Amino acid sequence: MNKTSYIFVTGGVTSSLGKGIISASLAKLLQARGYQVSIQKLDPYINVDPGTLNPYEHGECYVTVDGAETDLDLGHYERFTNQPTTQANNVTTGRIYSEVINKERRGDYLGETVQIIPHITDEIKKRIMLLGNQGDYDFVITEIGGTVGDIESLPYVEAVRQIKWEIGNQAIVVHLTLVPYLAAAGELKTKPTQHSVKQLLQLGVQPDILVCRTEHHLNRNLRNKIALFCNVETTSVIESIDTNTIYNVPILMKEEGLDSEVLRKLNIKDNRKTILTNWDTFLKRLKNPTHEINVALVGKYVELKDSYKSILESFVHAGAENLCKVNVKMISSETIDDENSEFILKTMDGILVAPGFGNRGIEGKITAIKYARENKIPFLGICLGMQCAVIEYSRNVLGHLDAHSTEMNARTSYPIIDLMDEQKDINNMGGTMRLGAYSCHITSKNSKTYQAYQKLDIEERHRHRYEFNNKYRKEFADSGMSVVGINPKRDLVEIVEIDNHPWFVGVQFHPEYSSTVAKPHPLFVGFVKAAKEKN
């Protein structure tokens, strides 16, 4: 195939129907036929990126290899396809408007009146076509955030209309809708789907395929009815029934023939089989565990599970690898103190202290780490979790009672976590973040970290501002907390371990960002294995 085909995924009726999972599942199916596929997300909010959003607003902020702070759906894309994403895979309204305004200020539009059409829509189209124009992909799947009918999404739908007009059968629209079940009537209702498609038609876009989320199977009569009222073929009405794990969705979509229908609509003749052998093996391991463990995830955004989406999915991957069901108990760090820590944590086989920003909940994280260290419970600290681990060790082992981070307490006399020297004179704190992939050298083959990775040089993604203060490195090593991973270019501490502990690892980076179905992250695999052995 010489040209890139474009598949747009829109959503109607309600949000949170699973456009990201459908997009990722379709990409997986096309991959399984031997195609090169990339997925991008168009987000209608006016923030330039989600980096400044509270996790309660938008779930976790996912970081790509090249350091872009993006929507959490990009995590699903990577977990399903095992392909890294970049800044080009996430576009926001804020970024679009910022670019158009900058062009207007530079005079790029030669005095034209700058308008939604054509200037904003042209910029959207440019971003959509960017991945395809590189020539590396057979398909680019573009997920449109929000719900059809939202005022924020209108420019994106208009851009899709224009692209479909311009490139014809090289582009199709897959529309995800809801077919609700009314218990009182005892039947499924198609009217919400009809109204959703009508809204799309009013905007000039005819969907080619409908994917219908439902609690009950769609019979032939219902499919015919939806097809008739929505101007699609019956074979283009795809059922997406509720399932107990998102990792079932590619299999369900394969059974429904979604990938075959997409290829047919794009006039691509292909008799190759969709080979999902490795995916089937993963699902078999996931559904047939031989062990079960309880792990505490200690954080301060635990009321919304999406705040720690990548961590939770990493436990799924690592659990399957270990034939182990991982029951994750979300614990608010604000509820933990010295008096109740044993009551809260005594039934846990492992403790993970999550990343985060700001002072709230810090002392609870430190208390949880103290409990893990003293009671020999397998521990994994990520980013701020690692920083809290060295603060706890400073206070309770080294005896520096006021040890802290300068971010949390500028007056501490023992700033174990501090800004890097070159950052201290920078006024714009947003510019001091360490974002994206950085190299790390593992210094000891005897470390738990090396046992997990089985190699000395690794690369992991970061999202943080403060660093371990190298002034105290020797003091820690002499007392039993070793630095076993460093950034070789800038001599920054990346990984710490406690020597006389079954499994105590703190990492400055975010291993959860690079865990996929095909390649569960080694640290999560090692952590789950240690918790399983304790159990």
Taking only the tens place, the pLDDT of each residue in 251-263 is 999 999 999 999 9
Q: What pLDDT is stored for residue 105 in this prediction?
A: 93
For residue 437, give the nearest of 370, 489, 477 by alpha carbon: 489
* Burial (0-12, 13-18, 19+ Cβ within 10 Å), 288: exposed
Taking only the tens place, the pLDDT of each residue in 11-48 is 988 887 889 999 999 999 999 999 999 999 998 988 88
Q: What pLDDT is stored for residue 428 in this prediction?
A: 36
- 92 DSSP β-pair partners: 43
Query: Mind giving me the DSSP string for 79-140?
Result: HHH-----GGGEEEHHHHHHHHHHHHHHTTTTTPPP-IIIIIHHHHHHHHHHHHHTT--SEE
Q: Per-block average pLDDT, block size 10, for the chain (535 residues)?
A: 85 86 96 95 85 70 90 92 92 93 92 92 94 88 92 94 93 96 89 94 96 94 95 95 94 96 94 91 97 96 88 97 97 92 94 89 94 97 95 92 74 71 41 85 95 96 90 91 94 94 96 96 98 85
Question: Residues 377, 349: contact at Cβ < 8 Å?
Answer: yes
Q: What pLDDT is stored for residue 58 in this prediction?
A: 66
Q: What pLDDT is stored for residue 225 in this prediction?
A: 95
Residue 108 sits at φ, ψ, to 5 deg, of -65, -25
Q: What pLDDT is stored for residue 56 in this prediction?
A: 61
Distance, CA of 179 to CA of 177 (rounded, Å): 7
Distance, CA of 387 to CA of 402 (rounded, Å): 14
What is residue 359's three-state secondary structure?
Answer: coil
β-strands 37-43, 139-144 pairing: parallel
Q: How many Å from the N-terminal Cα to the C-terminal Cα in the chain?
A: 53
For residue 138, give the nearest of 275, 277, 268 by alpha carbon: 268
Question: Would you please indicate which residues are annotated as catalytic (active-site) residues?
Answer: 383, 510, 512
- 331 DSSP β-pair partners: 298
Q: What pLDDT is stored for residue 406 in this prediction?
A: 73
List CB contacts of 1: < 8 A, sequence separation 6 or more: 35, 138, 268
Distance, CA of 166 to CA of 508 (rounded, Å): 47
Question: What does the block give as tokens for 343?
Answer: 């009551």
Secondary structure letter of residue 29 according to DSSP: H
Distance, CA of 160 to CA of 124 (rounded, Å): 9
List CB contacts of 471: < 8 A, sequence separation 6 or more: none
